[in-house]
Amino acid sequence: MSDDDARDAHLLETGRIDRLLATYELVILARCIKGTKGPHDGQDVAQDVMFRLFREFEAGKRYEGIPYRVVVHQVTKWTLADFHAGRRTDVPLPDELDLAAEDVGDGVVSALWLRELLARLPERERATCELVYVEGLSPEQAARRLGTTRNNVDQRLFHARKRLRELMDDDG
């Protein structure tokens, strides 16, 4: 079991779903933006992925023997498929999910890849992304912490998402 998988298992066991989801927020957002080819739809779909994952946890669902990163990958994949099929993406997942039947290892976005992408952003954009997407601060809170305006934070996030899409296209 990797260190990240052990961290995820501990957060699940201790009921820290907020912290667990925060660790995957940027990965989900990046995949959804790339998967929808646009920041607006990508942000909406990413939010629906987060809601689905949260509802799964609240409903008491646990996936014994399956790393949580795999669950995140599959829920993101299914939510993007719903989006492209024109189905609502904000509905709960079916009761019976057979994650083991899928080829779940294929396409799992690693945390190292995400860290590498963030490291390639300009300093201000990287710092803003880390506060909003990794630490979970609101744009207003990030603006206060950075000593800037909410509008400036929004602009940095917009440019960062654009750069991340470009970086993912270059890497992909």
H helix or E strand, kind and range, residue 122: none
**Residue 50 domain boundaries:** 1-109
CATH code at position 142: 1.10.10.10
- Quick one: 11 and 60 in the same domain? yes
Model pTM score: 0.55
Q: What's residue 109's pLDDT?
A: 42
Instruction: Check whether residue 78 and residue 25 sit in a common domain.
Output: yes
Same domain, 76 and 93: yes
Tokens representing 39? 């920041």
Q: Do both 127 and 90 map to the same domain? A: no
Go through 103-112 and write b for each residue having 16 or more CB atoms within 10 A of its CB, e for each that does not.
Answer: ebeeeebebe
Are 45 and 81 in the same domain? yes
Res 168: pLDDT: 66
**pLDDT tens digit at each of 172 positions of the chain:** 678 888 888 888 888 888 888 888 888 988 888 888 777 888 889 888 998 888 888 778 777 778 888 888 989 998 998 888 888 776 665 555 554 444 433 333 444 566 667 788 899 998 898 787 766 778 899 999 999 999 999 999 889 888 877 776 665 4
Residue 6 has a pLDDT of 86
The pLDDT of residue 115:
65
Tell me, yes or no, whether 43 and 30 share the same domain. yes
